Structure 1
């Protein structure tokens, strides 16, 4: 029995490492592109400083900041996928977390000329989440909404609506709606598939896969309605308290990472 268990763990680790290798290979072109953009921004900054060109300095700063943000997101995605650890739950104020998300996404949307509107209920209440990973999961959806608007040149104005409410005594609901490019049925069906991206070289194919995985670990669910050319609405429902299924997933992940790392785990 012990040998069979060990073999299962080895095979699971082999599959995980194979997927990780495929992921890194598929991302190599994107990494090179980002490093080239970063080098270009640094060069532009250096020449701007040398020539006392304030406009060039500002442009180079924005270029470096944008590239740095993309690199940070990619690294976080890799770390999450590589670790696959259990959640570190904390009782969290839903409205406060949502406002933090709105600040980050609103600034991002504003820089791109996309309207950002919020409806965050003050009485949304508390829920048990891993605040860092849950934040990252929802931010992935908000970033996708901004990208969808930028991919749609046919509308004179774009907007994103971010809503957070108490659905009932046991559930918090978050909604993200945009009037961007939308998705056809095939893209909607594949959006949570590992390595699938509709963004071309700008996408890693990890963001939505990981976001879906994080919400599932919290015992939550995601509903997506999208029409190509019209926009997308994402509904995320999360239980206020950890479900038995979520506890089982965390226990399995913690035991796996412990086995893979001398039973020390990642904490």
Structure 2
């Protein structure tokens, strides 16, 4: 099925399957909704017409680009890159055949049959790479024409390799290119399964009519296992015709079962090993052979170019496999880092709960309510920590779309301030809240925005409280331009900027500021400057929530002055009317 895959932008990693008609835009009614402030509400449409997907720009402000070129309308081909705003999408066309269909269509036989073929030519990878070498037996004009045709095929193969990320799509495209260049009736590409070493069909092509307008042979491809073994073991491409007359094969060999007159089979030789084979064949009746004067349909030129094409395809297969292995290795490393960071933090929480439980048990035993109360506060505080940790883990690990509903930003942030007042008093920090006097209801996910603001305010309170631990002498020695106010303070301000249609929550503290070496890793998961007190998930979770809303977090910090976090995202009105979103 055709699809769009986001390879850059706020929605990176999202995949959208395409129906006969889809709309791309920022509007919530769009089939492909992108959280990008530079994407118009109804940016572009993709529709299926005459078996092809056609992209139409809907007069968007920033335009639509395909492979770096601005277009109003464009027929899409698999591998095309579509840029809308700051978002880059990869288009993948529909697949013609399923893996099960391919397996049924290709048969590797080991039993003899009545028909007979022989290898008439074999060629190594080195000889096959000399596809453009001058042939003294050919007239110069003929040689130039052949070399020009070969170069065209190789160039188009290189383009296919560079434009297509899906390996199945790439192999099918290569098979199509081969059929454009050579008159083969049937062909397939098979890759070696790294797990079991078996050849598995990945792409297949059968010509609607046989070469020269002949009626095609059976669409099911029967390939001699003997030929495949020869190609894979020797790493040489072969051209076959009537193998019974070749002294390398016995009459009982399995090559006798392959019902072909002529075929080419070449190894897909990568940098290090063979990853598969490419096979094409054609059938000619005895009458057609007589008319052709016994000349072979496939020549050595065909064999050379097939070897060169197979090498390009093999390199693409290897690159894809190595990339997948690297991604898997990075994923496992990330899992290990996550387990190590979380287990350390959970261990500290459990120690706190155990200490609080001990106090409760001791107070109950001594019938001392004050000790019980003190122990319960410790348990409650650590219970809140583990609850917050679990919520951050769920938010950070799960790809989700915000559940947007009409909500009042002043009310959402006000609930955060109310929740954190007790914490601020405990730390000795003044926490103030200035709501926007002209705030309206807008569409966003209030629960997630609550979480994002809560994480930032919590960090700001901790940062402001750090100044309480500094010696008074150090404060007195500071110059007037860098001296902080004596009382730690965190200010939270809500804003609606109607000129740019942005909602903004500003969190400002007068703490010690963020050092430059910490600033560069500020939003990296599990990186915390709080030591055992922090999980390193708070700010990454806030950033993720804002990105899911199509927004971002801006940070400004100065040493001994403080830090300002600005959380902003597009303002969307409940009715989606004009004036609240910008095209």
TM-score category, normalised to shorter length: 0.7 to 0.9
Determine whether 1:214 maps to 2:529.
no
Instruction: Give the aligned partner of residue 110 of structure 1.
Output: 425
Residue of 139, 145, 163 corresponding to 2:493: 163
Give 1:55's aligned residue: 370
Residues 96-135 of structure 1 mapped to structure 2, 5 A cutoff: 96-135=411-450
Q: Deviations over 1:147-190 (max 9, x none)?
A: 11233322742111111122226222111111122211221222
Whether the 8 Å contact between 2:428 and 2:465 is mirrored in structure 1 is no
> What are the within-5 Å matches in structure 2 for residues 64-75 of structure 1?
64-75=379-390
- The more displaced of 157-166 and 105-114 is 105-114
| Counterpart in the other structure of 1:32 | 347
Q: Which residues in structure 2 correspond to 1:1-267 (within 5 Å)?
A: 4=166, 14=328, 19-152=334-467, 153-154=469-470, 156-168=486-498, 170-241=501-572
Check 1:17–1:194 CA distance in 2 against 1; reply closer, same or farther (3 A cut).
same
Look up the SS of the partner of 1:182 in the other structure: coil
* Alpha-carbon shift at residue 131 of structure 1 (Å): 1.5
Shift of 1:76: 0.9
Aligned-partner SS, 1:174: strand
Q: Secondary structure at the match of 2:524?
A: coil
Structure 2 contact 442–571 (Cα < 8 Å) conserved: yes
Aligned residues: 241
The 1:101/1:5 distance shift into structure 2, 3 A limit, reads: farther
3-state SS of paired residue (2:422): helix
Q: Distance in 2 between matches of 1:113 and 1:201?
A: 21
TM-score, with structure 2 as normaliser: 0.39
TM-score normalised by L of structure 1? 0.81
**Where in structure 2 are there 5+ consecutive unaligned residues?**
1-91, 100-165, 169-319, 476-485, 574-583
Question: 1:14-40: per-residue Cα shift (whole Å, max 9, x none)?
Answer: 565653442122221111111011011
Q: Matches of 1:23 and 1:138 in 2, distance apart? A: 24
Q: CA deviation at 1:11?
A: 7.6
**Large movers: runs of 4+ above 6 Å:** 5-8, 10-13
Q: Are the equivalent residues in 2 in contact too, given 1:124–1:172 (CA < 8 A)?
A: no
Structure with max Cα Rg: 2
> Which secondary structure does the structure 2 equivalent of 1:161 belong to?
strand
The offset of 1:59, in angstroms, is: 1.5
Which protein is richer in helix relative to its size?
Answer: 1
The separation in 1 between residues aligned to 2:433 and 2:355, in whole angstroms, is: 36
RMSD: 2.5
1:229 & 1:52 partners in 2: Cα distance? Answer: 48
Secondary structure at the counterpart of residue 528 of structure 2: coil
TM-fit CA distance, 1:110: 1.6
Name the CA shift for 1:236/1:49 in 2 (closer, same or farther; >3 Å). Answer: same
Deviations for 1:71-111, whole angstroms, at most 9, x for unmatched residues? 11111111122222221111111111111111112222122
Deviates more, 1:20-29 or 1:37-46: 20-29
Distance 1:217 1:11, change over 3 A: farther
1:218, 1:180 → 2: CA distance?
A: 29
Quickly say closer, same or farther: Cα 1:161–1:51, change in 2 above 3 A: same
Structure 1: 5+ residue stretches without partners: 243-267
Q: Which has the higher contact order (CA 8 A, sep 6+)?
A: 1
Do the aligned partners of residues 48 and 186 (structure 1) sit closer, same or farther apart at CA in structure 2, a change above 3 Å counting?
A: same
More strand by share: 2
Distance 1:86 1:5 in 2: 29
